[in-house]
Structure 1
């Protein structure tokens, strides 16, 4: 039996036990991160500065790029709204935790404990925090472990700012915590949810969606700034001051101040002999349209990158059809499905498996409980109920898990109360054979022959009933069973023909022979009585 400490060390490394006792960011070498203020690199952002920030990130310094990405979400309403929608659509989905396939009793108990732990968490906040990885390409949430007797469990994971981290100088895919060293401190096993979100391929510094949005953000800021300058004087005519040839420098300065004052306060004075002309600016409308065209292009580019289309973000043109809008919505839905699968993978790997290993000794991540977010993408139940039986009758081998996934109906676990199907009515339910009468019942009702004592007939019939009735009853019961089993009249006909094809009539023939012989003797006895030869 492997001890819990040895199992933890073997599965998660030597520093994993330290993460169970304290948070890594409480270390004095890391404490300075909590006192940092953002540099807001978007202030005075230029193409040259943006290039330097992106290049530094590729060399391991993620701080400026992370702060740039945070500023972009905060200052750009389009980026903030579209990314917020994508994260919120995933966070509002219903979650569930299920055991692995063919789960053992231990794996089922691990699942029950995981459900109990997650029921006490703010799962929606957890998904929103993981969703920050869409823009950055990754997100790190610090875990806080607690103990309930022998059981280990986590409290609400804490999202740590992306600017607290850097890349290891020797490995561009290894994220470390910034400290006083050149490479950074390696993240403790069991201490973090290390989520890598592949919005695009590449190594860590280039995986984030914000890398694609940085340039449209910059171009739009330039266009917006130029448009703001244009609007600052939009509607105000150009002011031209005229001074006489012999005007002194002092008089020229006085005229200039008057021209500027007219632009700000619409009032001013000038010396006599000088004049100010107001002229209409040429091409004002066309200049504004140029800036607006650039801004519209940037808005559409950002919407396509984040949501996969423009019609679900309010940036589409008014001529788009409803059908095209549905296409864009399906594209957005596929992105959400991809997001939730990536969230579920990180939660299982960094939370569910460690809890299952610590508390129940489950060593393989593939046997840990599974986390799901229900996207609600199911087939129409009415259409599924009509088409599925057809394919099954054709011989299609359709697994039951596929039906549960497409229908959205959860698979019942062992011991759960389930709905039972209504008993299908037998097409021959109304066809019931009447209770069989004694084979010679009709003879009992027949009148006796003139002069024949009734006791002769009664004795003969009773003897025949006793011997023939079991044989007839067996036939009747066999026919009744065939009626209950048959699903159609044609099938019943075939079943009866098959069952009675080699019917054994010898027993009934013997009984009838005895009956005829008895009847003959009874007749002779009657004759003897009538002729007086009874002796």
Structure 2
């Protein structure tokens, strides 16, 4: 049984896509009622209460506006979206079965060639802030196959929630309760920042209060900046002054502010009160506090967005890595939605009722420290753990050498058994039995040549003791003393190098 985004069964009798455009854009989608204009805590509370009851029209408009009016909120949300959008992705088959591989290849070709697919991913990530995001699939029949040719984003205010929290589409014929969303026609990505009503699940439900407080703060800050350093102009008039004279006094005070000149009656007085020197730190601190809270809500931390006077890029980068869980959650959520609402109907229309659906996989894994990994594998090899070469080639992204290619010999500590480029020719062509034996003999001879100075160095103390000893007992004592201090490290390394090269050559010869 196939289920839609609400968990309801979908009939598969009609396996042809609906090629009509259902959620047609209207004038209402283009123009806004601007609920953020003159927004107060009371008005904001009314907008949110409407959304709680299912009518999300004004909330959707408000969320759209705060993205435009708050640069910090826009920046941190773009950071979160683009982190997902910048990742590589691929279509992975359900299994190694031939049919599953065929389906994955078909789906991959469709999505890779869908020009606005990455834009659609960005549109779906709009659900992070607003709770949900919808794209309509424009289906077409091409060469006998049902394929999506365009994914059109639909504004959140074209939808509402019913009493059971099911999403419904508002149409021109039904603007009050809306219609049930047709199956296999829309991609609906829902984001749950927290449990509860889906109308309250978006991150902007948390940020909108900080936006409101910061909006008040910035307005007061601008008003403060207008009169900063200017004295207060106070006009005084005598009791019994006529209204005409009061108006003239007020006009004079206002002119002094703009023209630095004015005339008043002798019976009136203008007093200048020096303003208290303030630098507006209270406004700045409150605005920074609101920005910090918004960063926490969107990114889960603050350092990657606001480094501060004492911070650094390295510190912000390290801090951002802590929120890898948010990136993985966003990727998995979008992948699940696309698999359910786009890949599933694509497979259904072209391959029938098949539950073995391919996956959309984002490569969100953190880059590995290659040097650290190489050291780890070297340690494993040194303790004798068998390692598959195929795995190592794949792990480090190194292409496997082909037959006939010149191979680089390993560099050895204490000397290289292949000191010249000409000696690398032993690994250049597939050997036969004669040439292989000749190569082995050459290696043995070269090992003896390289080992002669080392052996001579080891034997020289013994030869000196034999020549200088007066009797067998003295010679015995000297030999035992020399043996106790004998350092064979250099000889051991040379023998290990020779055994390693011989083993490497033997494996290569058997492979060839």
TM-score normalized by the length of structure 2: 0.70
1:409 is displaced (CA, Å) by: 5.2
Distance 1:66 1:268, change over 3 A: same
Q: Is the 8 A contact 2:17 2:146 kept in 1?
A: no
After superposition, the C-alpha distances for 1:328-380 in whole angstroms (9 at most, x for unaligned) are: 2213444233212221221122112221222123611xx22221233362322
- Aligned residue among 212, 235, 246 for 1:218: 212
Distance 1:329 1:16, change over 3 A: farther
1:212 is displaced (CA, Å) by: 0.8
1:94 is displaced (CA, Å) by: 2.3
Aligned to 2:302: 310
Aligned to 1:119: 112
Aligned to 1:348: 339
After superposition, the C-alpha distances for 1:111-140 in whole angstroms (9 at most, x for unaligned) are: 222222122222321221111011012111
Aligned with 2:38: secondary structure? coil
- Aligned residue among 307, 310, 315 for 1:319: 310
CA separation in 2, counterparts of 1:82 and 1:112?
36
Distance 1:369 1:246, change over 3 A: closer
Distance 1:419 1:62, change over 3 A: farther
CA separation in 1, counterparts of 2:391 and 2:209?
44
Aligned to 1:21: 19
Q: Is the 8 A contact 2:440 2:502 kept in 1?
A: no
Match runs of 1:152-301 below 5 Å = 152-169=146-163, 171-172=164-165, 174-179=166-171, 180=174, 183-244=177-238, 247-285=241-279, 288-301=280-293
Q: Is the 8 A contact 1:376 1:408 kept in 2?
A: no
After superposition, the C-alpha distances for 1:414-463 in whole angstroms (9 at most, x for unaligned) are: xxx97659889799984359xxxxxxxxxxxxxxxxxxxxxxxxxxxxxx
After superposition, the C-alpha distances for 1:368-394 in whole angstroms (9 at most, x for unaligned) are: 222123336232233323324655887
- Aligned residue among 363, 375, 380 for 1:374: 363
Runs of at least 5 residues in structure 2 that lack an aligned partner in the other structure: 1-7, 410-426, 443-497, 504-512
CA separation in 2, counterparts of 1:50 and 1:186?
29
CA separation in 2, counterparts of 1:404 and 1:177?
52
TM superposition outliers: structure 1 runs of 4+ over 6 Å = 392-405, 421-429, 486-491
Q: Is the 8 A contact 1:239 1:278 kept in 2?
A: yes
Q: Is the 8 A contact 1:38 1:67 kept in 2?
A: yes
1:15 is displaced (CA, Å) by: 9.0
CA separation in 2, counterparts of 1:431 and 1:20?
73
Query: What count of residue pairs does the alignment treat as equivalent?
Result: 411
Q: Is the 8 A contact 2:15 2:352 kept in 1?
A: no
CA separation in 1, counterparts of 2:158 and 2:388?
47
TM-score normalized by the length of structure 1: 0.68
After superposition, the C-alpha distances for 1:486-519 in whole angstroms (9 at most, x for unaligned) are: 967999xxxxxxxxxxxxxxxxxxxxxxxxxxxx
Distance 1:273 1:321, change over 3 A: same
Distance 1:270 1:182, change over 3 A: closer
Aligned to 1:496: none
Q: Is the 8 A contact 1:15 1:188 kept in 2?
A: no
